[in-house]
Structure 1
Amino acid sequence: MATKTRLLGPGSFTITGKDNGKDFSADLTKAQINPSNSSDDPTNYLDGSQETNTSTTWTFEGTISDDFSESGLAAWCFDNANKTLPFEFIPNKTGGIKWTGNVTITPVAMGGDVKTKNTNDFSFPVTDLAHAPNTPATPTTPGA
C-alpha cells in the first residue's frame, strides 16, 4: 500500500514568471487549489435523450500574513495586477506531487486591526492546471 501524505507543508507556492517571479511560501498560512463546478440546465431532445454541459473553473486561494515592506506581497500583487503568470504549487515537499498552471494576479487587501499581525485572504483565477510528480532536486556533492 502506498504511503499517504496528509500534511500540508512544508511546501511551496511560487509564481515562476521570468522577470516577475515571486515566492509566496514564507507568507502563506493557508493554501489551496479550489474547483468551482457548474452545470447548465439539461437540453432535452425529441428522441428522449438529454445533454448537460458541466464545467469546472479553478482558483488558487490562500491567506497571507501582511508584510508592509516595499517587497511585500501586497505591493507585488498591486504591481502585477491582471498579469497571467505561471505558477508551481508543491503541497508537501515529500509528497511526490506538484501542481502547475497559470494564475491571473489580483490585488490583495492589506491592513486590519491595529497592533495586530494581520492576515488577508486572496484568490487568483487558474488556467491550464496540471499535476506531475515532484522529484526533489538531489543535492550535489562538491568535487563529485
Structure 2
Amino acid sequence: MAVTAHKLGPGVLSLGESGTLREFNSQVTNARWTPNVDQEDPIPVLSGDQIVDDPDITSVIAGTFLQDYGVESLVKWCWDQRGQVLPFEFKPRNDSELTISGECQVLPVEVGGDVKTRNTSDFEFPVVGDPTFADAAG
C-alpha cells in the first residue's frame, strides 16, 4: 500500500440545524475529532484465558479558533448556545470524501489573552452518542 498523508483543509466544521447553521471554517486554525477509550484491564482466569470487557468509547469535537469580539463572534455564539446539544459536521478536506457527523454539546470558551495579539480560544465539545463516518458513497 502506498503512503498517503493529507494536510487538513480547506474543509468544513459546522454546528447547528439548517437555518441556524454556524460555520466555524473561516476562524478555525485547528480542528479534530478525538476519541477517548476507557477499558478495564483483562481479568486472567485459571484456564489461561482472559475476560476482556467492552471498551467505553467517548469522543469530542475540538480545536482552536481565532477570537473576534463582535456580537456575531464565535465566543459569543458558544456562550449563547452553552449546554445545547446540536448537530455537527466535520469534513477535514473538501476534496476528500470523509465526513464525520453527529451531535455535540456546546460549551462556553475562554475570551481574551495577550494584549496586541491575535488571541485564540480552544474548544472541546463532547459528542453525544456515536458519530457517523460517511463518504460520498454513503
Which residue number corresponds to residue 38 of structure 2? 38
Which residue number corresponds to residue 61 of structure 1? 62
Aligned length: 135
> What is the TM-score when the length of structure 1 is the normalising length?
0.83
Which residue number corresponds to residue 26 of structure 1? 26
- Residues 96 and 134 in structure 1, CA contact (< 8 A), matched pair in contact too: yes
- The question of 1:130 aligning with 2:135 is answered no
CA distance in 2, matches of 1:39, 1:71: 41
> What is the TM-score when the length of structure 2 is the normalising length?
0.86
Deviations 1:19-38 (A, max 9, x none): 64211111100001111111
The sequence identity of aligned pairs, in percent, is 35
Task: Structure 2: give runs of 5+ residues left out of the alignment.
Answer: none
Task: Structure 1: give runs of 5+ residues left out of the alignment.
Answer: 136-144
Which residue number corresponds to residue 94 of structure 2? 93
- Greater gyration radius: 1
Q: Supply the AA of the counterpart residue of 2:40.
A: D
Q: CA deviation at 1:43?
A: 3.7
Q: CA deviation at 1:15?
A: 0.7
CA RMSD, 1 decimal: 2.2
Which residue number corresponds to residue 17 of structure 1? 17
CA distance in 1, matches of 2:2, 2:89: 24
Which residue number corresponds to residue 138 of structure 1? none
Which residue number corresponds to residue 74 of structure 1? 75
Q: Secondary structure at the match of 1:77?
A: helix
